[in-house]
Chain A
Amino acid sequence: MTTTTATAEADRRTVSGSTPGAARGPRRTGRIRRIGLPYLLLLPALVLELLVHLVPMVIGILMSFKALTRFSIREWGAAPWSGLDNYKVSVDINAPAGEALLHSFWVTCGFTVLSVGLCWLLGTAAAIFLQDTFRGRGLLRTLFLVPYALPVYTAVITWAFMFQHDNGLVNHVLHDQLGLTDKPSFWLIGDNSFIALLTVSVWKGWPFAFLVVMAGLQNIPKELYEAAALDGAGMWQQIRRITLPSLRPVNQVLVLVLFLWTFNDFNTPYVLFGKAAPEAADLISIHVYQTTFATWNFGTGSAMSVLLLLFLLVVTGLYLLLTSRRRKTADV
């Protein structure tokens, strides 16, 4: 049966191949299949990507050049153009809007550096610690991943309860049980709110670093450590000379992803503090949200979002340029 079909197929090919004028047909179909198919397969994803990301981005950029307020929001397509006014308002640090944006920018920078640094440090330390096999390692690995697996809202609202002044667990432990503070502290208002925000962010973010570094560690050949041990290298030397350099490509991506997620984090401050974050924890994402939706300055909010996007693009570009150059130098 198979032979018959194969013969028939071969015959058909011969016939069509011998037909004058149709000589290019099969070859062309083959080429289309070979070169065009991957593009065709990519097309649905490309279209979706454009719809989900590019279209809103273009609309956002357009909005940033419009005088978009409560009066024009319904017919935003027809709102009057305002040129660069929204950008001027956003960057004028001598005026209230620009001054407040700059303040939240610095808060966000400090928060991001600390959060990413701590996430990386904790994640890497935990991953290295769990490299050795010991009883209970599987359980610990699962436990460490719990914060990553929990829905963000549930986790953060639980933290909000724990940080409450009167009935919160944090004050209960720090003040009532350990006696570390003179009186119960405020964590959700005032200056301490920055520490509360950082704590939740690190708690939420480090399991991802742990997961990625752990995967990276699997790729380092054991022989390297064995050879180093034979040469008399201690644990610290092994970590410094073998582990960290081998993890560099993994870390490069990890730090970038953590940076982007943390800098743009909206859920954590919004669930912890609501739509008006305390000044000390006024992250830029919340600030832009407040400008846009709470005070209904949609055009200015869009301009601030575009500025944020540009900043992140520049930082990401510089980071990739620097890290790839360093890797090339290292390869040489």
Chain B
Amino acid sequence: MRRIRAAAIGAVTLSLALAASACGGGSSTDGGGSNDSPKTLTYWASNQGASITVDKKVLKPELDKFEKQTGIRVKLEVIPWSELLNRILTATTSGQGPDVLNIGNTWSASLQASGALLPWDTKNFGSIGGKDRFVDSALGSTGAQGEDPAAVPLYSMAYALYYNKKMFADAGISKPPATWDELVADGKKLSKDGKWGLGAEGANLSENIHQVFVFAKQHGADFFTADGKPDFTSEGAVTAIKQYVDLMAKDKIIAPGNAEYAQNQSLSDFAKGKTAMVLWQTASATLASLGMKDDEWGVAPAPVRSGTPGSGTSVNSMVAGINLAVFKNTDNHDGALKFVKFMTSDAEQKILNKAYGSIPPVKAAQSDPAFNTKATAALRETLAKSAAALPQVADESQFETSVGTAVKELLADAAGGRPVTTESVKAKLEKAQQQMPAK
């Protein structure tokens, strides 16, 4: 009996020990990577197209091409946006992740801080043709300043103003607005009979951040100090967020129902002719999938206060986009670099960015006429001249959550008819700042 008990205890202890070592305590990852598994790669692609099936259709032939060239088989998994960051975090903690993955470019510095991604030093960049192949604005969203980038730009995007030509003509508006005052005036003409001037995704935290970041830039404010500390309650930041929320609260050109949108419903409203304008990144492919014909919509640079987009207070977009990163503990280090080289090659950049309606961050690929169409010219211009990267700080991801939530709550107040004042905006931002991790 005693022996059985001892055996049972032994078995339990052994299984616990095995479990503990399988969990690894996060310390088994030596961080160096290896070439133990040179014939396969796992690739986590973010959902870029209208659906995951569309993404697989776009990517599969390219991955087959890569296999033909190198003999390396790529196992593809397309991951929805809502799950991607959590999946990356789980992979980071367990050490059980893909070899190559897509990350939202705004997360670069946050994920860089975790130390899970391969740094792109001169040597690594050299293996894919050098840093100079990429446009500067895209490189600005690849990691904290002064450190080797944590990722390589893959698809670039920018915000632009999409407008419904027929609704504009019906309201007697001859050209798209260039300033916010013009946009509000046009919006008021358009907001009647159950139709609205502008659409918004009020419950989507990242979307809120993208919008208010631009407003803040136009008021000369940033959300972080030069040394990376949160600075959410500056006069410029408060004014900027109030201006954005007032589009619903005071100007009443955004439908109150937009306060609970988080699944691109505002783009769907736009395609159905319920909303006349949306500020969106690369909307053309989605608009087509929603049944809106190309000649029904126009695209113009997003408004600024002065009417002339540029740098500084005339910024009219964040640098949006997707980066390609390599997990530091990959078992196919060389293969992963080959894959990044393939995906960022001139030829593949043209194929992939055409398929997704985005702009290649690779200079040589941008000259293709496909990126000078009505749909893409405004985006390319914006990226080149008047887009700014979101703060590249380790706390960026938390900033998106806390300030994004504050804007969501303010829009909910506006929708519910509660007053939105400078004080209420400041109070929400103070709360958001207090939620940031202590340094």
Contacts and interface: CB of A to CB of B under 8 A. Distances in A.
A58 to B, nearest CB: 9
Contacts of A35: 1
A275 B401 contact: yes
Given A36-B4, A96-B431, A166-B257, A74 B114 contact: yes
Q: How large is the interface on A (under 10, 10 to 19, 20 to 34, 35 or more residues)?
A: 35 or more
Interface string B92-127: 110100000000000000100111100000000000
Contacts of B436: 295
A76 interface: yes
B325 to A, nearest CB: 14
Contacts of B86: 293
B9 to A, nearest CB: 11
A231 to B, nearest CB: 57
19 contacts: A36-B4, A39-B8, A43-B8, A47-B11, A50-B19, A51-B15, A54-B16, A55-B16, A59-B23, A74-B26, A76-B93, A77-B25, A165-B260, A189-B408, A274-B205, A276-B408, A294-B397, A295-B402, A296-B398
Given A70-B394, A96-B434, A295-B398, A190 B416 contact: yes
Contacts of A69: 437
A39 B4 contact: yes
B246 interface: no
Contact of A75 (B12, B15, B115, B416): B115
A74 B88 CA distance: 11
A275 B208 CA distance: 14
A64 to B, nearest CB: 15
A166 B256 CA distance: 9
B259 A73 contact: no
Nearest to B18: A51
Contact of A40 (B4, B203, B431): B4
Contacts of A216: none
A55 B21 CA distance: 11
Interface of B: 1, 4-5, 8, 11-12, 15-16, 19-20, 23-27, 29, 82, 85-86, 89, 92-93, 95, 110, 113-116, 202-203, 205, 255-257, 259-260, 262, 394, 397-398, 401-402, 404-405, 408-409, 411-413, 415-416, 431, 434-437
Most interface-central of A69, A75, A164, A278 (chain B CB within 10 A): A75
User: Which 4 interchain pairs have the tightest Cβ spacing?
Assistant: A77-B25, A96-B434, A189-B412, A76-B26
A50 B408 contact: no
Q: Is the interface of B mostly helix, strand, loop or mixed?
A: helix
A47 B434 contact: no
Given A76-B93, A96-B435, A276-B404, A186 B1 contact: no
A188 interface: yes
Contacts of B259: 165, 186, 189
A294 B89 CA distance: 10
Contacts of B26: 73-78
Contacts of A55: 16, 19-20, 23
B431 to A, nearest CB: 7
A166 B272 CA distance: 14
Contacts of A294: 397-398, 401
A71 interface: yes
B203 A274 contact: yes
Given A189-B203, A274-B262, A294-B398, 16 more contacts: A36-B4, A39-B8, A47-B12, A70-B397, A71-B113, A71-B394, A75-B26, A76-B26, A77-B25, A100-B435, A165-B257, A189-B202, A190-B412, A191-B416, A294-B401, A295-B402
